[in-house]
Amino acid sequence: MEAITLAGTSVADRTNAVGVTTDAAVTNDINDAANYTAAATALTMTSTTGIVAGEYIKIGTEIIKITTVTNGTVLGAVVRGVHGTTPAAILDDAVVQEVTVGSAINDATDITAADTSITVDSSTTFAADEYAKIGTEIVKITAAAANVLTVVRAQFGTTAAAALDDAEVIEVTVTGTLTAADTTLAVADGSVFAANDYVEIGTEVLKISDVTANVLTVSRGEFRTTDASHAVDATITKQITKSGSTAVSVTVAAAVAATPVPTDPSPVPSIVPDGLTADDVAVILPSSGGSFTEVGGTASITVPSSAVTSGTAAAVNIVSVSSSDVPAPPAPAAEGVSGTFNFGSSIIKIQWYDDTGSELATFDLNRPAEICVPFNTDDIAGAAGGPDGMSVWRYNGTEWIELNSTVNISAGTVCANTLSFSVFALGLSVADAEDVVVLPSTGGYAPSTWTMVLAMLAGIALVATGAFTARRARRVRETS
């Protein structure tokens, strides 16, 4: 099978995709002393045993489809140069090999760009969740039975197009998984990204250093996240940074695939955890997401659609907690970047519940939610760098992690995106070690009592001497 990429495939690729193997069995050879031209459509062989209509043979580099087997030595009608190969003259005694190809469309009325059921010569080489190529279009197979393929059209950035009867349907494999070591990432639409943007795939944050068409050059495992492998259809979320106050979230797919429509459970549950009321939580649904603002406060969470697994529902609650109830920030570094923060005025816990109202110890979303915590003037004054020194930190169970945050001065909030939940704190940055001003030491010496007495006597003597000198000078002037 042919491996494809988002960039498409060449004619040579399509030729190689037909599945011809070097050890294909030699069926027979041509038996006509007059040879054949590239236009000949009937061929005489030593024997046609084992060859039936609808199959394929290979002569040289040309693939030929058998339409009619007249008798034991004559192929009454053939189609020349199929599957991207080129018809060529055939010599007497040329070797004939039986070959296996994907299949071909078998519909006299052809297919349109909108058709999702495609009749082929044979569906035996295809299976659900595989991919096939028709011309330059990639389709995803959702079912294959009785020589009919049910497909999703125009996959991986290709365009749905009409195809003629007998057009080749080639089975292909998709090679698009991003491994943990990869630094180049192919996406369906690179136009929404720019150098120095941050993106999130799963729980990993990546930084983009270059965008060339639909290929991103990235550095992996930013902000202490873990470099990991990601599937071909993983969602990529463009992160929000401190550089602006407007929250903009853009998602593209690493490879365009059919996106299932999220469905809500039926009936939609009314989730009220023990000890709480319906006003204390918000029910989050797959189709619409949802939002919640802390009761009696302003901390909030906004969850997009498809963040909760299709067919399920969950409830979310936010409560403020004391700094004494959460782990302390890490100790500052002795030199260089401080690597720590001071608690601001907002520390919250985001708690999720399942559809029965039971508290969930851990909970992860399929798409990131935005959380916002409030700040006040004391927070601005207490952060090194002022407003730019404020950010949201999350405790992941072992350490505090700084999230990529946005400060919105007019709303009085600091916001960040996250897939995972626990305790979140408004963090105030601490000045780096080299920025701390240290006053010079004044020393530890204090004069003794006798030293002070001697200094006082010397001062008295000096004053008396000055008075005597002034009086003597006056007498001299009076007698002269």
Q: Which is more confident, 323 or 168?
A: 323
State yes or no: pLDDT of 278 exceeds 90.
Answer: yes
Picking from 364, 339, 363, the residue whose alpha carbon sits closest to that of residue 353 is 363
One-letter amino acid of 81:
G
State yes or no: pLDDT of 18 exceeds 80.
Answer: no
Cα 380-407-226 angle, rounded to 5 deg: 115
Picking from 329, 347, 346, 351, the residue whose alpha carbon sits closest to that of residue 338 is 329
Q: How many CB atoms lie within 10 A of CB 279?
A: 8
Average pLDDT in the chain: 78
**Residue for token digits 């009937």?**
42
Residues near 49 by beta carbon (within 8 Å), at least 6 away in sequence: 28, 72
User: How far is 187 from 254, CA to CA, in rounded Å?
Assistant: 4
Kindly report the length of the chain: 480
Q: What per-residue confidence (pLDDT) applies to 129?
A: 78
Structure tokens belonging to residue 231: 């599937």
Of the pLDDT bands very low, low, confident and very high (cuts 50, 70, 90), residue 126 is confident
User: How far is 411 from 193, CA to CA, in rounded Å?
Assistant: 27
Alpha helices (runs of H) in 318-417, residue ranges in sequence order = 377-382
Cα 372-369-313 angle, rounded to 5 deg: 125
Q: What per-residue confidence (pLDDT) applies to 423?
A: 95
Q: What per-residue confidence (pLDDT) applies to 461?
A: 61
Listing DSSP states for 405-417 in one string gives EEEETTTTEEEEE
Q: What per-residue confidence (pLDDT) applies to 338?
A: 67
Q: What per-residue confidence (pLDDT) applies to 203?
A: 82
Task: State the Rg of the chain over Cα.
Answer: 39
Q: What per-residue confidence (pLDDT) applies to 176?
A: 53
Picking from 315, 379, 316, the residue whose alpha carbon sits closest to that of residue 347 is 379
Q: Where in the chain are the domains?
A: 20-100, 104-174, 184-253, 278-435, 447-480
Q: What per-residue confidence (pLDDT) applies to 137?
A: 85
| Contact between residue 234 and residue 242 where contact means Cβ atoms under 8 Å apart | no
Of the pLDDT bands very low, low, confident and very high (cuts 50, 70, 90), residue 110 is confident
Q: What per-residue confidence (pLDDT) applies to 253?
A: 43
| Strand 198-201 versus strand 148-155 pairing type | unpaired
- Section 425-451 average pLDDT: 64
Q: What would the pLDDT profile of 460-471 be if each residue is shown by its tens digit?
A: 666 656 655 555
Q: What per-residue confidence (pLDDT) applies to 189?
A: 65
- Section 119-139 average pLDDT: 80
Percentage of the residues of the chain whose pLDDT score is greater than 90: 35
- Section 165-173 average pLDDT: 74
Listing DSSP states for 120-132 in one string gives BS--TT--TT-EE
Q: Which is more confident, 28 or 404?
A: 404
User: How far is 414 from 391, CA to CA, in rounded Å?
Assistant: 6
**Residue for token digits 């120095």?**
196
State yes or no: pLDDT of 213 exceeds 60.
Answer: yes
Burial class (CB in 10 A: 0-12, 13-18, 19+), 408: middle
Percentage of the residues of the chain whose pLDDT score is greater than 70: 73
Q: What per-residue confidence (pLDDT) applies to 332?
A: 81
User: How far is 349 from 362, CA to CA, in rounded Å?
Assistant: 12
Q: What would the pLDDT profile of 304-333 be if each residue is shown by its tens digit?
A: 998 998 899 999 999 999 999 999 998 887
Cα 66-69-73 angle, rounded to 5 deg: 115
Q: What would the pLDDT profile of 347-404 be if each residue is shown by its tens digit?
A: 999 999 999 999 999 899 988 999 999 999 999 999 998 999 999 999 998 999 999 9
Q: What per-residue confidence (pLDDT) applies to 38?
A: 92
Residue 312, sorted as left (phi over 0), alpha (psi -120 to 50) or beta, turns out to be beta
| Fold of the domain spanning 278-435 | Chondroitinase Ac; Chain A, domain 3 (2.60.220)
pTM attached to this predicted model: 0.41
Q: What per-residue confidence (pLDDT) applies to 58?
A: 84
- Section 141-164 average pLDDT: 86
Listing DSSP states for 42-86 in one string gives -EEBS--TT--TT-EEEETTEEEEEEE--SSSEE-EEE-S-TT--
Alpha helices (runs of H) in 316-410, residue ranges in sequence order = 377-382
Burial class (CB in 10 A: 0-12, 13-18, 19+), 96: buried
